[in-house]
A = this chain, B = another copy of it.
Amino acid sequence: MKLNIAVLPGDGIGPEVTAQAVKVLKAIAMEFNHIFTFKKALVGASAINKTGNPLPEETINICKKADAVLFGAIGDTKYDNDPNAKIRPEQGLLGIRKELGLYTNIRPVIAYEDLLNKSSLKVKQIKDTNILIYRELTGGIYFGERHLSEDGNTATDTCRYSRFEIERIAHLAFKAAQSRKRKLTLVDKANVLESSRLWRRVVQEIAPQYPNVRLNYMYIDNAAMELIINPRQFDVILTENMFGDILSEEASVIVGSIGVLASASIGDKHAMFEPIHGAYTKAANKGIANPIASILSAGMLLDYFGLYDEAALVREGVDKSLKLHITTPDLNTKYDNISTTKVGDFIEDFIQNPEETNLN
């Protein structure tokens, strides 16, 4: 298969971890006789620094022409601490999601055997957890009108949802549930928000088309608790943009490190693959950034194009690295100084020699 992949490394640890994912994809291409080409583009704070724009026109064009986008991370503490900044790195990420119409963000939350001890939660609590979060990604309060009054004393954000925005992601979530444990949980705040009531109404209407899927509802406050006290109750979670942002980052505590959570952002024409972690400027260029989330995002990219054996091999490589403690310091209690690159190299080696790769 021929694939043109746009690579947007972004800020902070973005470039380091993305480099490992690219390395892994190149190894896959080699082993399976695919032709993957990579084209880099600017986004986020690094794009602001070079062009004044967090999402340059050229980046949009490169992404639109590509078969898929591999995204690193964006963000910079400089902007975080300046509530008056008009231009912000996040506009790059939100802009690309919108431009490419990536309305469905899929975030798997899997309690890996080899990481069970890393979690803040008790092992019996999380064992066998396997959740797929479907987060709406191009609507809601992220993309509604915003307003700051002339005198700067009143600020407004708008959360808007339309039926079709809910329907399209709901169908995908129901279908995902059908191929799993056939349970779908809609998370909202329908006891307060009009938009949540629309979500509940639309999902209720669609449900009869998926008679073998059990549908239940949960308020976001309650879900934030249930996710910790009983994570195994969940199969597929469907939710709006902001609640999905919160729940999925919270869910990282089940897995043991946010450094291993991957995601796929899917639209009707385009697809982008990105870790759920941020830019962690403080950790940048130290070789300590965990590349697993980015590598697993590359795995989701392969799955997306039907390259299931290839994706499985990437995941096996990751599993093996976890089992053998070839991991960055956030996860490693056995070896010191296993760097970002070293983890990438190990998984690359594994792909080239699945039988032989071992602890050397």
Contact = CB atoms under 8 A, between A and B. Distances in A.
Given A125-B120, A221-B246, A246-B221, A197 B83 contact: yes
Contacts of A245: 189, 220-221
A191 B194 CA distance: 24
A144 to B, nearest CB: 8
Nearest to A81: B217
A147 interface: yes
A146 interface: yes
Q: Among A81, A94, A155, A204, which residue has the most Cβ atoms of chain B within 10 A?
A: A155
Contacts of A217: 80-81
A156 B159 contact: yes
Select the residue from A84, A162, A190 with max chain B CB neighbours within 10 A. Answer: A190
Interface string A142-157: 1010111000111111
A225 interface: yes
Interface in A204-251: 204, 217, 220-222, 224-225, 228-229, 242, 245-250
Contacts of A160: 154-157
B249 A83 contact: no
Contacts of A316: none
Contacts of A242: 189
Contact of A90 (B154, B191, B246): B191
Contact of A83 (B83, B121, B200, B258): B200
A265 interface: no
Interface in A291-311: none
A147 B145 CA distance: 14
Given A122-B121, A163-B153, A224 B250 contact: yes
How many monomers of this protein are in the complex?
A: 2
A156 to B, nearest CB: 5
A192 interface: yes
B224 A246 contact: yes
A83 B201 contact: yes
Interface in A128-182: 141-142, 144, 146-148, 152-164
A286 B283 CA distance: 53
Interface of A: 75, 79-81, 83-84, 88, 90, 94, 120-122, 125, 141-142, 144, 146-148, 152-164, 189-195, 197-198, 200-201, 204, 217, 220-222, 224-225, 228-229, 242, 245-250, 252-253, 258, 278
13 contacts: A80-B191, A83-B198, A90-B192, A120-B122, A121-B121, A146-B194, A154-B198, A156-B158, A157-B193, A189-B242, A189-B245, A228-B228, A228-B250
